[in-house]
Chain A
Amino acid sequence: MTFHLQVVTPDGLAFEGEAEKISVRTQEGIIGILPRHIDYVAPLGMGEAVITEAEGKVRRAACIGGMVAVHSGAVRLVATTFEWAENIDLERAKEAEQKARAIMAREGLSDRDLKLAEARLHRSLVRQAVGKGN
């Protein structure tokens, strides 16, 4: 059995098709969605999304921010950032990590800047983890 899955990002449609299973990280933790799931909405955290396509092919992606919604059997993953594992630029992620760490090492940082840097570090770490597992 499969369900219809749409992955929508601000850059356009990243994926549309049938899927057997999907697991994503919400703000509460990792959840898995199988066909015939109850109607459901949850905000997304930062983490890995694993999509099992209809033919059993497994694809992984870094999926950050936004929400996941199940509505009458169809799943919509509305993500701020969604990058397939094979498309992740590890060099760039590593650079971002170093930049974020450099900012955090500075003294006299305002609370706001610190939070921004922390979020940046977290994002780069997630992208590296997903990219490396490829």
Chain B
Amino acid sequence: MAGVSMKDIKLRIRSMESTKQITKAMEMVAASKLRRAQERVANSRPYFEILFDTLNTIANNTEDFSSPYLEKREIRKSCFVVIGGDRGLAGGYNHNVFKLALSRMEGKNVCVVPIGKKCLEFFRSHGVEVLTEAYATAAEVHVGDCFTVSKMLSRGFLAGEFDEVCVVYTNFVSMLSQAPAVLELLPLAYHPRPGDTSSDCLTLYEPDSVSVFDAIIPEYLGGLIYGALCESVTSEQGARRTAMDAATKNAEEMIADLSLKFNRARQGAITQEITEIVAGAET
């Protein structure tokens, strides 16, 4: 009896150990990917800051400023870009994004541009109209793809295909916490910084300031999408790292518990054997 349970325990310990190795490896991979994702964000930042600056200067220095991108219309159809992960095992990462997206979509006529395999599967199973499936793997989406998406969205917005564009992504607050968030892309919520009217009025815009503004906007939106994507990818790795860290700790705890049980069983077996021998010698 004691021997069988000893063998069982040994088997369980061994399987826990291999699980622990896997979760440990996944945690390390996530940690290194996280670092790379953070670098990517840092590299791209100056680009978008300059674009935003230019947009600001134009808007501030032009009288009677108006652009079709700023125009608010009655919302008949909304377009959501939802950024999720390609794989599970990342704690509540995917679930949180989808929950927020669904709550924002309620009662609206929507279409979705899913980014990430899990995301595509989710919206397909919920019967939401999917605009394009070209960006199903989040890990393979590059800057260029973000610009393609943003151009497609701006064109659709101008053509009246949809009257509102939102991005649902995950904000990387810190290593331990990631919060899902919604970013409204179009119509552009744009607030010129007051008191920013510098002496830039002599700048030559070609062909003219409003066309420059309208030409830059898709690029800027692409930047926002790229930023959101980078945040999401970083969050995914962060969430996975935390989840895998917890899994490794649990595995360790179980192994310690099982080792204790194993040793106790072994001790019990030895004691029993001795008792049997002694009892045999006495008679």
Binding site for B on A (CB under 8 A): 8-13, 26-28, 31, 38-43, 65-67, 69, 71, 76, 78, 80-81, 112, 115-116, 119
* Residues on B facing A (Cβ under 8 Å): 43-44, 46-48, 50-51, 54, 58, 143-144, 147-148, 151-152, 155-156, 200, 202-207, 209, 211-212, 215-216, 219, 222-223, 226
Given contacts A39-B203, A41-B204, A42-B206, contact A116 B144 (CB under 8 A): no
Kindly identify which residue among A10, A31, A43, A116 contacts B215, using a CB–CB cutoff of 8 Å.
A43
B144 & A80 in contact (Cβ 8 Å cutoff)? yes
**B5 CB, nearest partner CB in chain A, Å:** 59
CB–CB A67/B143 < 8 A: no
Interface residue from B147, B202, B215, B222 paired with A39 (Cβ < 8 Å)? B202
Determine whether the beta carbon of A8 is less than 8 Å from that of B203: no
Known: A10-B143, A112-B152. A67 touches B215 (CB 8 A): yes
* Dominant SS among interface residues on chain A: strand
A43 & B50 in contact (Cβ 8 Å cutoff): no
Nearest CB on A from B122, distance (A):
24
Task: Give the A-B contact count at a CB cut-off of 8 A.
Answer: 82
In contact, A78 and B50 (Cβ under 8 angstroms): yes
A67 touches B54 (CB 8 A): yes
* Pairs across A and B, CB under 8 Å, 12 listed: A8-B47, A10-B44, A11-B143, A26-B206, A38-B202, A39-B200, A41-B58, A41-B209, A43-B215, A65-B147, A67-B51, A69-B54
Which residue of B152, B216, B223 is within 8 Å of A116 (Cβ)? B152
Task: Please tell me if the beta carbons of A66 and B219 are within 8 angstroms of each other in the complex.
Answer: yes
Residue of A nearest to B161 (CB): A112
Q: With A43-B216, A80-B147, A116-B148 known to touch, is A10 a contact of B206 (CB < 8 Å)? A: no
For B50, B143, B202, B205, which residue has the most chain A Cβ atoms within 10 angstroms?
Answer: B50
- Identity of the chain A residue whose Cβ is nearest the Cβ of B203 in the assembled complex: A39
Nearest first, the 4 closest Cβ-Cβ pairs linking A and B are: A43-B215, A12-B43, A39-B203, A42-B206
Q: Assuming the A-B contacts A12-B44, A78-B47, A80-B219, are A40 and B204 also in contact, with contact meaning beta carbons closer than 8 angstroms in the complex?
A: yes
In the assembled complex, the Cα of A10 lies from the Cα of B225 at a distance in Å of: 12
Smallest Cβ distance from B214 to chain A, in angstroms? 9
Select which of A38, A67, A76, A119 is within 8 A of B204 by beta carbon: A38
Residues of A within 8 A of B58 (CB): 41
Nearest neighbor of B211 in chain A, beta-carbon distance = A43
B197 to chain A, nearest CB (A): 15
Query: Please, how many angstroms separate the alpha-carbon atoms of A9 and B152 in the complex?
Result: 21
Shortest distance between the CB of A59 and any CB in chain B (Å): 20
A76 to B49, CA, bound (A): 12
Name the one of B47, B206, B212 contacting A9, with C-beta atoms under 8 angstroms: B47
Q: In the complex, what residues of B have CB within 8 A of residue A116's CB?
A: 148, 152
Give the chain B neighbours of A26 by CB distance below 8 A. 206
A112 near B219: Cβ-Cβ < 8 Å: no
* B151 surroundings in chain A (CB, below 8 A): 119
CB-CB < 8 A to A112: which residues of B? 152, 155-156
Q: Report whether B202 and A8 are in contact in the complex, using a CB–CB cutoff of 8 Å.
A: no
